């Protein structure tokens, strides 16, 4: 039985994402508890050069699968590469970030290795020589504590919950490069085109601040006032289910049980009444502000701060005030 922690170091366009550092920092801590090593795995085309930097976040070793064919993520090819690395290393824990890639890859590795899986974990603890995790279910209306009965356990961590430690520039990791034979059969799915999102647009799952709008915006044009505030704060703009169902905002902006679950530092809910399925998607935000004209709106019972009033007056005033205060 192994006692190492194998961590998928997610990259995008040849650069590691902050979720990779989050996972490595936690992986290192888990490995310490298990008496093993933190081994990062970097997969892609042209990732070798940056791989050793992962040591600064706590990786004891970095395994690199660098292949031009792996430039674009497909679960087929990445899954094969990752699973092979995992099975060769016999870790106690396989750790990923619960991003799109991480969830896909976690599922693939779990099936390939016959390993139990828990996604989107928000807490973990060493327990009886293994790792026990806590994760939200029903979009956060409840939590479960999960114990694994077999090794390895495939665990993905909810982004932004575990913040990475500051990098230690004095450290670097040993890099092991692995060549994997990839056949055509590993490329049954091929990325034909990538339509990058509008420049400057921040995804709600990545943003530190979210300004979110509901039915109170009265129409797609109402979102202009939110865009202005978001622009000033470097925030993402989110939306309630109603607003998305009405076609005012894109599906990718929806926050809630059938949309995205977010936990930013600051969540500003404007004209959102606070349906149970919306609250489920944002209640783990560090600070919640609600602006609503209806003093009885359930959102106020979840918010830290509330203003009762017309959002079309309050939000522009907020934008102006923040501009004045922060400059």
Q: Please report, as residue ranges, which positions from 212 to 251 form the binding site for other proteins (by CB under 8 A).
A: 233, 244-246, 250-251
Interface residue with other proteins, options 70, 93, 153, 272 (CB under 8 A)? 153
Helix ranges (H only) for 239-298 are 241-245, 276-282
Q: Interface with other proteins includes 287 (CB under 8 A)? A: yes
Lookup: tokens for 210: 């979210």
Q: Establish if 90 lies at the interface with other proteins (CB under 8 A).
A: no
The token pair at 147 is 């114990």
Only one of the segments 36-44, 59-67, 132-140, 165-173 lies at the binding site for other proteins (rule: CB under 8 A); that segment is 132-140
Buried-state track 268-304, b at ≥16 Cβ within 10 A, e below 16: bbbbbbbbebbbbbbbbbeebbbbbeeeebbbbebbe
Q: How far is the CB of 194 from other proteins (least distance, A)?
A: 5
By CB under 8 A, tell whether 110 contacts other proteins. yes
Min dist CB 300 to other proteins, Å, is: 7
Element (H, E) at 51: helix 48-51
Of the candidate residues 33, 44, 58, 79, the single one contacting other proteins (CB under 8 A): 79
Instruction: Name which position in 194, 200, 221, 327 contacts other proteins (CB under 8 A).
Output: 194
CA separation for the pair 323, 327 (Å, rounded): 5
Please state, in angstroms and rounded to a whole number, the distance separating the CA atoms of residues 76 and 104.
Answer: 9
| Interface pick for other proteins out of 50, 112, 161, 182 (rule CB under 8 A) | 112
Q: How far apart are CA 13 and CA 100, in angstroms?
A: 15
User: Which of 1-9, 62-70, 146-154, 173-181 is the region at the interface with other proteins (rule: CB under 8 A)?
Assistant: 146-154
């Amino acid at each position: 039985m192994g006692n190492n922690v194998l961590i998928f170091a997610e990259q995008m366009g040849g650069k590691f994402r902050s979720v990779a550092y989050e996972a490595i920092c936690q992986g290192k801590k888990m490995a310490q508890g298990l008496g093993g090593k933190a081994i990062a795995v970097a997969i892609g085309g042209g990732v070798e050069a940056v791989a050793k930097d992962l040591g600064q976040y706590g990786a004891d070793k970095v395994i690199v699968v660098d292949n031009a064919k792996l430039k674009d993520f497909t679960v087929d090819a990445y899954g094969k590469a990752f699973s092979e690395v995992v099975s060769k290393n016999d870790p106690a824990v396989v750790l990923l970030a619960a991003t799109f890639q991480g969830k896909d890859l976690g599922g693939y590795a779990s099936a390939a290795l016959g390993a139990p899986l828990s996604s989107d974990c928000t807490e973990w603890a060493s327990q009886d020589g293994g790792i026990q995790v806590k994760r939200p279910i029903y979009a956060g209306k409840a939590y479960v504590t999960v114990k694994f009965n077999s090794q390895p356990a495939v665990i993905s961590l909810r982004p932004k919950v575990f913040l990475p430690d500051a990098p230690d520039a004095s450290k670097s990791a040993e890099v092991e490069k692995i060549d994997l034979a990839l056949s055509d059969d590993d490329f049954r799915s091929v990325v034909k085109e990538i339509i990058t999102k509008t420049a400057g647009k921040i995804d709600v799952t990545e943003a530190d601040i979210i300004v979110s709008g509901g039915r109170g915006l009265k129409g797609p044009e109402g979102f202009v006032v939110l865009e202005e505030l978001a622009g000033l704060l470097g925030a993402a703009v989110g939306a309630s289910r109603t607003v998305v169902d009405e076609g005012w905002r894109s599906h990718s902006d929806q926050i809630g049980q059938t949309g995205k679950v977010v936990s930013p530092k600051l969540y500003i809910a404007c004209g959102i009444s606070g349906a149970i399925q919306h609250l489920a998607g944002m209640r783990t935000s560090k600070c919640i502000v609600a602006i609503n004209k209806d003093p009885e709106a359930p959102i106020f019972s979840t918010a830290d701060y509330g203003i009762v009033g017309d959002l079309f007056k309050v939000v522009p005033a907020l934008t102006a005030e923040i501009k004045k205060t922060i400059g």
